[in-house]
């Protein structure tokens, strides 16, 4: 992870926002909104080209102050024939802090309601993807913070229009380079248009070498000319399903999250739940920790937990705005070190990553003790935005948000799946039809292997026992503490302490030895709680968690072959209409919302909410292309 260096707000002699890093202004002195309308909207024949479309995707090469996005959003809102959904995808190397952005937009011509909505969701300067939703989810802003040319190469989408913007080519040549033009061409098809205010010879020639046809047209304000272009390749585009109905097997965190994300795109879903109620597996636990997991090398696990955590925060806020509140608390999470060596390693990771303290900080044992209200053995990471979530409340909020578009069918056991033309049939034990749809999504944890006829898939069940402790014995604990296990503050008078991890053990009965092991781990984190006076039999809950061999989720279309020879993830044949979302392990609260958005985006051929290498790292077909060399499953 390369630390993001935020931009600093300065102004030119004319009062225009200015960058001393690039010695250039953010927009023309004649006005940012007028410039956007002339160069980028009119230059891409907008709004006419998005009218009547289900979705429309715009890619921008530099977000800056957000004026292009805001002006585009305003034009979209004013158009009664606008597309059903508008995706605006932008990269930015030096995003503003929210305070500076607020100052810069204070005198904007854009209505305050729009600028305030953007500021309210503005993310911390952390690398990678940040997906924000506006207008009830119909306007989706995907911000990617980091090196522009590398991020453009990592986007997974098809652009309808491109805003080629940024500081002048002489000031910031990297953003107007051959790698950028090639990346934009990769995102384009025969219907993709492009506009930019620059008519530099190197820009024209570079675009033409990348297969864009460009022409000069009258420029804005003092600039005599600008460029308009169109991609001249004949690359095909994947279309969204015409029939927007899906069967979802399982109504826990994964299934409910997918139902909500598909409902936002106009789908209806039938959730086929084998148990009598929703959230009866691991999704029925009392509470769970909600926080990311950093690493020195910012590996896939770290990047995906960061993306899941940040998207999860946005999703919780969106549910709350929609009147579907989740039972959760951002009380903060302490992740304590196991020993002095790990304590120093955690501190080095914080120093190396350079993340904002509002996201990740390191605290000493003394500071951890003050935060926890109990003596901590060692210091560790502090996640101020983290906390605990009651999983069932998140499941219920997702289903409430989906409304009539999601129908839960409890006590419905699917014995097998069968294809019938373009449909998938869910059948019971007597081979009677339960339901049918063109799309089936397996969100039924480790049991997905049975229905997908995918015994080769390294997806297993891990028994996890959580102990319930009376909060009266833990006061004044007010934050989540984890490291060797975890403990959450009380819900309904009890704290959740867990959890054991036993692969392929399907017994759901409580065990005294696992209660004892949970208490032992608590004592290692907070020694004064090592000898809690527990009276009587301890209560708790056991569930089975689906785990993958590489500890990453599985999200995507299932492969049609178990031999990856000669294929890559892009060419491997898939089972049409059969999708999987599973493998969350102990991180369902962190991953479920993002993974559901990823799956819904794939199904609907919309821009993905992650860089392509991360999306590939979650593809279940990865185990066909690169079969695992080991079969053992380590604890989480």
Looking at the predicted structure, is the pLDDT value of residue 533 above 80?
A: no
Looking at the predicted structure, is the pLDDT value of residue 33 above 90?
A: yes
Structurally, the chain folds into a number of domains equal to: 3
State residue 121's pLDDT score.
Answer: 97
491/544 same-domain check = yes
> Which of these, 50, 69, 51, lies nearest to 59 by C-alpha position?
69
Q: What confidence tens digit (pLDDT) does each residue in 568-620 have? A: 999 999 999 999 999 999 999 999 999 999 999 999 999 999 999 999 999 99
103/202 same-domain check = yes
Q: What is the pTM of this model?
A: 0.96
97/197 same-domain check = yes
> Which of these, 458, 378, 418, 392, lies nearest to 622 by C-alpha position?
458
State residue 312's pLDDT score.
Answer: 98
Is 240 within the bounds of a domain? no
Q: Do residues 371 and 335 make contact, with C-beta atoms less than 8 angstroms apart?
A: no
Question: The CATH number of the domain where 396 resides is what?
Answer: 3.50.50.60
Q: What confidence tens digit (pLDDT) does each residue in 111-121 have? A: 999 999 999 99
Mean pLDDT of the chain: 94
Looking at the predicted structure, is the pLDDT value of residue 304 above 60?
A: yes
State residue 223's pLDDT score.
Answer: 85
Question: The CATH number of the domain where 486 resides is what?
Answer: 3.30.9.10
300/365 same-domain check = yes
539/447 same-domain check = no
Q: Do residues 443 and 278 make contact, with C-beta atoms less than 8 angstroms apart?
A: no
State residue 530's pLDDT score.
Answer: 78
Decide which of 516, 548, 580 is a domain's last residue.
548
Looking at the predicted structure, is the pLDDT value of residue 24 above 90?
A: no
380/506 same-domain check = yes
How far apart are the C-alpha atoms of 493 and 124, rounded to whole Å?
A: 34
State residue 528's pLDDT score.
Answer: 86
Q: Do residues 247 and 426 make contact, with C-beta atoms less than 8 angstroms apart?
A: yes
| % of the chain surpassing 70 pLDDT | 98
pLDDT band at 234 (very low <50, low <70, confident <90, very high): confident
Q: What confidence tens digit (pLDDT) does each residue in 517-527 have? A: 999 999 999 99
Is 256 within the bounds of a domain? yes
| Cα angle 344-519-288, degrees, rounded to a multiple of 5 | 75
State residue 239's pLDDT score.
Answer: 76
pLDDT band at 221 (very low <50, low <70, confident <90, very high): confident
220/71 same-domain check = yes
Is 634 within the bounds of a domain? no
Q: What confidence tens digit (pLDDT) does each residue in 236-287 have? A: 777 777 789 999 999 999 999 999 999 999 999 999 999 999 999 888 899 9
Q: What confidence tens digit (pLDDT) does each residue in 439-496 have? A: 999 999 999 999 998 889 999 999 999 999 988 888 899 999 999 899 999 788 899 9
The pLDDT of 309-323, averaged and rounded, is 96
State residue 443's pLDDT score.
Answer: 97
Beta strand residue intervals within 237-294, DSSP E: 245-249, 268-272, 288-290
Looking at the predicted structure, is the pLDDT value of residue 631 above 60?
A: no
Q: Which residue has the tokens 């860089």?
A: 611
Q: Which domain holds residue 320?
A: 283-389+460-548
The pLDDT of 90-112, averaged and rounded, is 95
269/306 same-domain check = no
Is 258 within the bounds of a domain? yes
Is 58 within the bounds of a domain? yes
Decide which of 548, 570, 594 is a domain's last residue.
548
State residue 630's pLDDT score.
Answer: 63
Is 450 within the bounds of a domain? yes
Q: Is residue 106 classed exposed, middle or buried when 0-12, 13-18 and 19+ CB atoms within 10 A define those classes?
A: exposed
164/310 same-domain check = no
């Amino acid at each position: 992870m390369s630390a993001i260096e935020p931009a600093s707000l300065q102004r030119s002699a004319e009062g225009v926002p200015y960058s001393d890093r690039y010695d250039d202004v953010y927009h023309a002195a004649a006005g940012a909104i007028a410039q956007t309308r002339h160069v980028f909207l009119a230059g891409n024949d907008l709004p006419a080209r998005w009218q009547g479309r289900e979705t429309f995707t715009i890619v921008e090469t530099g977000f800056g102050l957000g004026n292009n996005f805001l002006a585009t959003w305003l034009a979209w809102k004013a158009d009664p024939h606008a597309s059903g959904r508008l995706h605006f995808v932008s990269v930015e190397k030096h995003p503003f802090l929210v305070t500076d952005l607020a100052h810069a937009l204070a005198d904007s011509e854009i209505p305050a309601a729009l600028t305030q909505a953007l500021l309210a969701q503005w993310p911390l300067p952390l690398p990678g993807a940040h997906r924000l939703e506006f207008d009830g989810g119909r306007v989706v802003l995907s911000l990617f913070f980091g090196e522009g040319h590398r991020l453009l190469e990592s986007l997974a989408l098809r652009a309808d229009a491109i805003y080629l913007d940024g500081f002048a080519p002489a000031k910031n040549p990297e953003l107007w380079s051959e790698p950028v033009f090639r990346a934009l061409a990769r995102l384009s098809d025969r219907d993709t248009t492009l506009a930019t205010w620059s008519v530099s010879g190197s820009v024209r020639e570079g675009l033409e070498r990348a297969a864009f046809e460009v022409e000069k047209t009258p420029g804005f304000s003092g600039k005599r000319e600008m460029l308009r272009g169109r991609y001249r390749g004949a690359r095909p585009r994947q279309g969204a399903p015409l029939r927007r109905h899906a069967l979802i097997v399982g109504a826990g965190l994964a299934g409910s999250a997918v139902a909500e994300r598909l409902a936002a795109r106009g789908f209806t879903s039938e959730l086929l739940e084998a148990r009598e109620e929703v959230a009866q597996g691991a999704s029925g636990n009392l509470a769970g920790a909600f926080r990311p997991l950093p690493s020195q090398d910012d590996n896939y696990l770290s990047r995906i937990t960061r993306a899941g955590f940040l998207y999860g925060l946005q999703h919780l806020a969106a549910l709350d705005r929609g009147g579907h509140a989740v039972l959760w608390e951002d009380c903060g999470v302490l992740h304590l070190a196991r020993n002095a060596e790990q304590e120093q390693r955690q501190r080095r990771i914080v120093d190396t990553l350079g993340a904002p303290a509002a996201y990740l900080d390191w605290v000493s044992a003394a500071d951890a003790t003050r935060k926890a209200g109990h003596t901590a053995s060692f210091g560790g990471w502090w996640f101020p935005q983290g906390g605990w979530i009651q999983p069932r409340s998140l499941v219920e909020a997702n289903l409430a948000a989906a409304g009539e578009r999601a129908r839960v069918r409890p006590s419905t056991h699917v014995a097998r799946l069968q294809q019938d033309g373009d449909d998938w049939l869910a059948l019971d034990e007597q081979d009677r039809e339960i339901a049918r749809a063109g799309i089936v999504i397996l969100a039924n944890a480790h049991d997905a292997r049975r229905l997908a006829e995918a015994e080769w898939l390294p997806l297993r069940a891990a028994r996890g026992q959580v102990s319930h402790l009376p909060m009266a014995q833990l006061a004044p604990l007010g934050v989540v503490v984890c490291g060797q296990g975890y403990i959450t503050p009380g819900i309904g008078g009890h704290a959740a302490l867990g959890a054991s991890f036993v692969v392929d053990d399907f017994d759901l009965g409580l065990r005294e030895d696992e209660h004892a092991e949970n208490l032992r781990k608590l004592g290692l984190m907070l020694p004064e709680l090592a000898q809690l006076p527990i009276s009587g039999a301890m209560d708790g809950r056991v569930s089975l968690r689906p785990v993958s061999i590489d500890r990453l989720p599985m999200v995507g279309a299932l492969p049609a072959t178990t031999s990856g020879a000669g294929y890559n993830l892009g060419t491997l044949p898939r089972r049409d209409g059969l999708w999987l979302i599973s493998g969350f392990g102990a991180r369902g609260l962190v991953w479920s919302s993002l993974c559901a958005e990823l799956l819904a985006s794939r199904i609907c051929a919309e821009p993905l909410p992650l860089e392509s290498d991360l999306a590939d790292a979650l593809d279940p077909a990865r185990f066909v292309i690169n079969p695992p060399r080991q079969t053992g499953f380590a604890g989480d």
